[in-house]
Amino acid sequence: MSPDKNLINTVKDLEKTAPTSHEANQMEQEQMDKRKEMLRRDKGYKANEQSSYE
C-alpha cells in the first residue's frame, strides 16, 4: 500500500521555510494585483481606464 498523497504533500509543505511577514504581505499584494488586473480585463477596460465602482 502506498502512502497517502495528502500526507506526503503535508510533509513537503512542512519542510519548506515559512516566509517572513514582509514576504507574506508582498505575496498577498501580488495576488491581489493579479486578481484586480484579471477583473479589469474581464470587464473590457483598457490599462489606462478604471471603473468608478472598484
Question: Which residue ranges make up each domain of the chain?
Answer: 21-45
- Is the Cβ–Cβ distance between 19 and 27 less than 8 Å? yes
Q: What is the pLDDT of residues 23-34, one digit of tens each?
A: 999 999 999 999
Higher pLDDT pick, 6 / 44:
6
Mean pLDDT of 33-44: 80
Closest alpha carbon to 36 in 18, 3, 14, 28 = 28
pLDDT recorded at residue 52:
57
Query: What predicted TM-score, i.e. pTM, was given to this entire model?
Result: 0.46
pLDDT recorded at residue 38:
84
Quick check: 8 pLDDT over 60? yes
